[in-house]
Amino acid sequence: MLLCVLRTTSSALTRTLLVNYTKPMILNNVHRPVCAGCQQQLSARFSSNRSEWHGLWEPVDLKTEPDIPEFESIHINMKGFDYPVLESYAKYVHKSVNTIFQLESDAWPAPAKSSQVKTFHPNSTAVNDKYDLQNYERTVVVEDVPTTTMPILLEFVRKNCPEGVVVFVKEPNPEEEEARYVPDYEVIELQKEKEAIAAGKLRKK
């Protein structure tokens, strides 16, 4: 026989019920064992109560969307053959987005793409010069950009762009995001095996 611990103070329903089963009720992260009848009352009373101590307080003036619509995220993609220039520009853009524009941002590099250029002597295949070039890439992601700030950001990026750097400002593309991940060959092989078994082609030895 267990006693109901919590008593309601409302006049009509002050009674103690003796029941075998008590269900704990969580009020403000404190577990209190409460009988079924009281629990119904209590939850009814406390859910509508806006007090901080006796229930969940719900603010009245919540806005689900900002007044000025915002771009969720914008990718500023910078590519160039000249490493120090590109690196310093990417750093400048990232810093400015944090300090001048006061927007959340993230930045990452992408692996450089190397290429080789050969010049030949005139009218022959004898190599005159060989150049090993690397096209470096940096991306700065800016989040929650208000649409009124976007043109200013675009102008800023364009006016400060140094020579030799190509900039793309775009919204995120999930297909391009895949290139960032290193494929797990073991997982891919196992998945292929699984499909083959499902198709019935692979016979278990």
Partner 1 sequence: MASPSLFSSLMKCLQGTLFSRMRVLNGQLSSHLNANQVRHGSILYSAICVERHPVVTSKKSRIEENFSEVLSKIEKENSYLSDHEVRRLKEQRAAKSKQENAEEEPSNIDSETVTALDLEDKWDAEIKSFTPASRITQADDTGDQKSLDRKLDSSLYLLVKQNVAGRDHWVLPQATWEDGETLRQTAERALSSVCGDVSANVLGNAPCAVAKYVPPSEDEEQPIKLFFYKAWHRGGNVNIDKGIASDYVWVTKEEMKDFCHNSYNRHLNKFIFDI
Is 176 near partner 1 (CB under 8 A)? no
Is 88 near partner 1 (CB under 8 A)? no
Q: How far apart are CA 171 and CA 137, in angstroms?
A: 17
Distance of CA 86 to the CA centre of its chain: 26
CA dihedral 37, 42, 44, 45 (to 10 degrees): 140
Minimum separation from the CB atom of position 162 to partner 1 (A): 7
Is 103 near partner 1 (CB under 8 A)? no
Is 134 near partner 1 (CB under 8 A)? no
The residue among 28 and 119 lying less far from partner 1, judged by its C-beta, is 119
Binding part of the chain for partner 1, among 13-21, 46-54, 106-114, 148-156 by CB under 8 A, reads 148-156
Burial (CB count within 10 angstroms: exposed 0-12, middle 13-18, buried 19+), residue 153:
buried
Is 150 near partner 1 (CB under 8 A)? yes
Q: How far apart are CA 15 and CA 36, in angstroms?
A: 13
Q: How far apart are CA 162 and CA 6, in angstroms?
A: 71
Minimum separation from the CB atom of position 158 to partner 1 (A): 6
Q: Evaluate whether 151 touches 96 at the Cβ level (below 8 Å).
A: no
The DSSP secondary-structure symbol of 161 reads: P
Binding residue for partner 1, selected from 52, 58, 65, 163, defined by CB under 8 A: 163
Is 33 near partner 1 (CB under 8 A)? no
The residue among 30 and 117 lying less far from partner 1, judged by its C-beta, is 117
Is 205 near partner 1 (CB under 8 A)? no
Give residues in contact with partner 1 (CB under 8 A): 68-69, 147-148, 150-151, 154-155, 158-159, 162-163
